[in-house]
């Protein structure tokens, strides 16, 4: 009888064995733009997923990916009891000068300061030496009303504005750059596939308390919607912001026009004096006319134009 019980227990342990994983990448070190093959084989699992990427959720297979930066791929296997087991493989991506130069926007006549983006981690200070410091800030956590706008602006920023590292690698000096900071609470593994998934990842990690502190330096009423702030030095959350600075209020902007708002943000901050009131008014009029031509909006658009100003009226 005892032997029979031991045999039953041994059989049950085999039935509930944790997933077994074989997971590797080839090669594990590539230049930017080169493909990598992920290969895997999983046993004793009912579900398998690989992140980031669009690899099939199959028990075994291979999949080609083209990471744009050094990336850790994680395979997660889940058994019938809901237990998870993971395996990781890191692929190192070497940025080449030619690739970085391609991703940098071409310099236009009259525009002297390109913009590059960077995620600003919680507790980390801004880097010194840049010609202009800008911030993309959300006034509150996303609601049903504001979430589409937040995601639309993030997608437009990801599509139009290169990473600051690309501009620096391309040979542009810091003092000729506008760095656009997006505050986040933790490191974000931005998916390579689409700007939609990247925007979702950034919004999930966005540092709303830090954004609230920075917006409070401008005024107490900017607690809903999306805003850009630009000035010559980093913003200190411990004191009211001093002029000159450029404050751009997108809280009433339609999500469908996010790309236009970001394009005009780039145009204005590229100038030597982005807070110049005459230029700001001229740019606001151009933007208003452009949006009216595209959408047919009139009066409803006018309220959104208040975002371009040397600083909000208190």
Q: pLDDT, tens digit, for every residue of 208-254?
A: 999 999 999 887 778 788 999 988 899 988 888 887 888 888 888 78
Half-sphere exposure of residue 274, counting CA atoms within 13 Å on the CB side?
31
Distance CA 236, CA 218 (A): 11
**pLDDT > 70? residue 290:** no
> What is the pLDDT confidence band of residue 59, given thresholds at 50, 70 and 90?
confident
Lowest mean per-residue pLDDT among 54-58, 192-196, 273-277: 273-277
Q: β-strand 115-121 against 132-138: which pairing, if any?
A: unpaired
Residue 98's pLDDT is: 46
> What is the pLDDT confidence band of residue 274, given thresholds at 50, 70 and 90?
low
**pLDDT > 80? residue 281:** no
Higher pLDDT, 65 or 138: 138
**pLDDT > 90? residue 117:** yes
Mean pLDDT of the chain: 77
Residue 1's pLDDT is: 52
Handedness of CA 114, 118, 122, 123 (dihedral sign): negative
Residue 292's pLDDT is: 41
pLDDT average, residue stretch 244-265 = 82
Distances in Å between the Cα of 75 and the Cα atoms of 30, 65, 85, 235 are: 20, 14, 8, 41
SS3 assignment for the chain: CHHHHHHHHHHHHHHCCCCEEEEEEECCEEECCCCEEEEEEEECCCEEEEECCCCCCCCEEEEEECCCCCEEEEEEEECCCCCEEEEEEEEEEECCHHHHHHHCCCCCCCCCCCEEEEEEECCCCCCCCCCEEEEEEECCCCCCCCHHHHHHHHHHHHHHCCEHHHHHHCCCCHHHCEEEEEEECCCCCCCCCCHHHHHHHHHHHECHHHHHHHHHCCCCCCCCCEEEEEECCCCCCCCCCCCCCEEEECCCCCHHHHHHHHHHHHHHHCCCCCCCHHHHHHHHHHHHHHHHHHHCCCHHHHHHHHHCECCCCC
Residue 52's pLDDT is: 83
Distance CA 101, CA 313 (A): 40
> What is the pLDDT confidence band of residue 150, given thresholds at 50, 70 and 90?
very high
**pLDDT > 50? residue 44:** yes
Distance CA 67, CA 137 (A): 28
Residue 184's pLDDT is: 94
Higher pLDDT, 32 or 211: 211
| Nearest C-alpha neighbor of 153 from the set 245, 288, 254 | 254
**pLDDT > 60? residue 28:** yes
Residue 141's pLDDT is: 94
Residue 105's pLDDT is: 46
The predicted-structure confidence for 162-220, as pLDDT tens digits, reads as follows 899 888 887 778 888 999 999 999 988 776 557 788 899 999 999 999 999 999 988 77
> What is the pLDDT confidence band of residue 296, given thresholds at 50, 70 and 90?
very low
Query: In 214-227, which positions are buried (b, 16+ CB within 10 angstroms) versus exposed (e)?
Result: bbebbeeebeebbb
Question: Please, which residues bridge with residue 132 across strands?
Answer: 178
Entry pTM: 0.57
Q: How many residues does the chain have?
A: 314
């Amino acid at each position: 009888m005892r032997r029979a019980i031991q045999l039953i227990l041994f059989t049950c342990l085999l039935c509930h064995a944790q997933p077994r994983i074989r997971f590797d990448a080839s090669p594990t070190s590539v230049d930017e733009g080169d493909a990598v093959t992920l290969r895997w084989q999983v046993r004793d699992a009912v579900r398998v997923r690989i992140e980031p990427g669009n690899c099939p959720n199959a028990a075994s297979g291979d999949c080609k990916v083209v990471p744009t930066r050094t990336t850790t791929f994680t395979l997660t296997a889940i058994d019938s009891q809901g237990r998870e087991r993971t395996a990781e493989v890191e692929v190192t991506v070497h940025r080449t000068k030619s690739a970085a130069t391609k991703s940098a926007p071409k310099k236009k006549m009259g525009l002297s300061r390109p913009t590059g983006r960077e995620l600003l981690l919680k507790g980390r200070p801004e880097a010194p030496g840049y010609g202009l410091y800008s911030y993309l800030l959300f006034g509150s956590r996303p609601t049903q009303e504001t979430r589409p706008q937040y995601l639309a602006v993030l997608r437009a920023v990801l599509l139009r504005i290169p990473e600051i590292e690309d501009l620096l690698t391309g040979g542009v000096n810091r003092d000729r750059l506008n760095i656009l900071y997006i505050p986040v609470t933790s490191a974000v593994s931005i998916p390579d596939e689409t700007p939609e998934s990247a925007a979702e990842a950034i919004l999930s990690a966005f540092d709303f308390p830090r954004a609230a502190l920075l917006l409070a330096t401008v005024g107490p009423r900017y607690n809903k919607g999306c805003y850009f702030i630009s000035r010559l030095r980093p913003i200190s959350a411990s004191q009211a912001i001093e002029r000159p600075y450029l404050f751009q209020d997108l809280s009433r902007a339609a999500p469908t026009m996010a790309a236009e708002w970001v394009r005009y943000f780039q145009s204005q901050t590229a100038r030597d004096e982005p807070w110049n009131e005459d230029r700001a008014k001229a740019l606001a009029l151009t933007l208003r006319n452009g949006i009216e031509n595209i959408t047919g909006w009139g009066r409803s658009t006018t309220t959104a134009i208040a975002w371009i100003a040397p600083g909000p009226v208190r």
